[in-house]
Amino acid sequence: MLWTASLCLLWALSILGAPVNKQRQKVLLISFDGFRWDYDRDVDTPNLDKMAKDGVKALYVTPPYLTITSPTHFTLLTGRYIENHGVIHNMWFNTTTTEKKPYYQTQFVNEWWDNGTLPIWITAQRQGLKAGSLHFPGTASSYQGQVAMVREVEPLLYNYKNETAWRENTDKVMGWFRDQDLDFVTLYFGEPDGTGHRYGPDSPERREMVKQVDRTVGYIRQSAKQHGLTNSLNIIITADHGMTSVYRNGQVEEITLSKIPGFSFRDLSFHLVDFGPSGMLLPKPGKLEKVYNALKGSHPHLHVYKKEEMPERLHFAKNDRILPIILWSDPGYVINGYFPVQFHKGEHGFDNQEMDMKPFFRAVGPAFQKNLKVGPFETVNIYPLMCHILGIQPEVNDGHLNATKHMLVTSTTTQGEFISD
């Protein structure tokens, strides 16, 4: 009778979606900044290929707009579109004082990050799990007075290309899982973004960096095995955005705002331009229509929108931090202010529908099916997937578990499916 009851209990648990495998699932979320969805097509990537064979590979994933580093990473951590989580730019800015802080300094402006949305580190810890982060954007901040319990922020002028440091950081994170019994960790690598910017996405330098990424993926899996984590650790590898080549050396008519008839920087109280293909403007009182009308239609590859007229699909309007006029350019073009000051051969920040802005996605571990190729999905959906594997109730988010649950092995996922609209 007891044996029959046990069988019935196992059957009931499987029907309800509860784990038959009682070993607690861990998750490592890794970002290789700027790794475009097709970077493995012109480079031999045996370790990424092996990871796909052992797990799941998506054709590509779609990041939120604005396709730049901090906003898109915070979407991975929260499952929210950028207008909803409020980290709208890499740069903190103050429209009254006109002060701006670059990417690294902005990491330490707490109120920029802690503005109402909780990242998964904090949610997991509030539900009894242990979380950590190494170099991931947002790591330096506290959220409602809490921080990731184990964290490391890279120093100023950090060398993001150092392969030896990549391996040391990998072993450090695996040690956190094994020795401190962490449940969830985020790990950030600053390449191939830097190389793609400097040399362009079609360069031999970028292809060499992709080989370095691939070697590191192999090392990550090897380190997980050496630390005894193979049966409990799920590894998700993705990126924040892609990269596209920039037109240079007289190939096209560049976009330079100061040369546009009827436009004047004197009509602005504040602006964010000269940072790639996107920009935001705050006109002085009474000058909005003048600025807008001067810019609208001024260049065939410049898109100009009033905040309230932004396409709804971009989810980049309904936040007080977003300025009244938003600009972005077509692929290959950047937006210059007074005169060209941008010399990158590769850029991102374009419309997230552009294929060159799409990142890659791989996942492997006991929760995931093997040798499964899936279609594209939005990166907001990675958050509810991670919450489900960890067995935690997610915060309000814009993702859907339905977009990713077909990747999972039902018998090894965790306590029921939390689906948030």
Last residue of a domain, one of 343, 366, 393: 343
Q: Are 149 and 191 part of one and the same domain?
A: yes
Q: Which domain holds residue 73?
A: 20-246+353-412
What is the residue-averaged pLDDT of the chain? 93
User: Mind listing the pLDDT tens digit for each residue in 238-262?
Assistant: 999 999 999 987 888 999 999 999 9
Question: Which of 298, 357, 305 is CA-nearest to residue 327?
Answer: 305
Give the pLDDT score at 13: 40
Structurally, the chain folds into a number of domains equal to 2
The residue ranges of DSSP E strands in 86-241, in sequence order, are 92-94, 99-101, 131-134, 150-152, 184-189, 233-238
Residues 259-299: pLDDT tens digits? 999 999 999 999 999 999 999 999 999 999 999 999 999 99
Domain co-membership, 338 together with 209 = no
Of these residues, 69, 216, 238, 413, which one is catalytic? 69
Residues 6+ apart with CB under 8 A from 302: 255, 295, 327, 328, 329, 330, 333, 335
413, pLDDT greater than 70:
no
Give the model's pLDDT for residue 248.
81
Give the per-residue pLDDT at 18: 39
Question: Are residues 398 and 332 part of one domain?
Answer: no
pTM: 0.92
The question of whether 4 is a catalytic residue gets the answer no
403 in a structural domain? yes
> In terms of Cα–Cα distance, which of 275, 391, 295, 359 is closest to 38?
359
Could you tell me which residues are beta bridge partners of residue 368? Answer: 408
Question: How confident is the model at residue 199, as a pLDDT?
Answer: 98
Region 210-228: what's the mean pLDDT? 98
* Predicted pLDDT at 23: 73
Looking at the structure, do residues 212 and 104 belong to the same domain, yes or no?
Answer: yes
pLDDT (tens digit, 9 = 90+) per residue, 36-45?
999 999 999 9
% residues pLDDT > 90 (the chain): 89
Q: Which DSSP state fits 25?
A: P
**What does the pLDDT look like over 64-83, one tens digit per residue?**
999 999 999 999 999 999 99
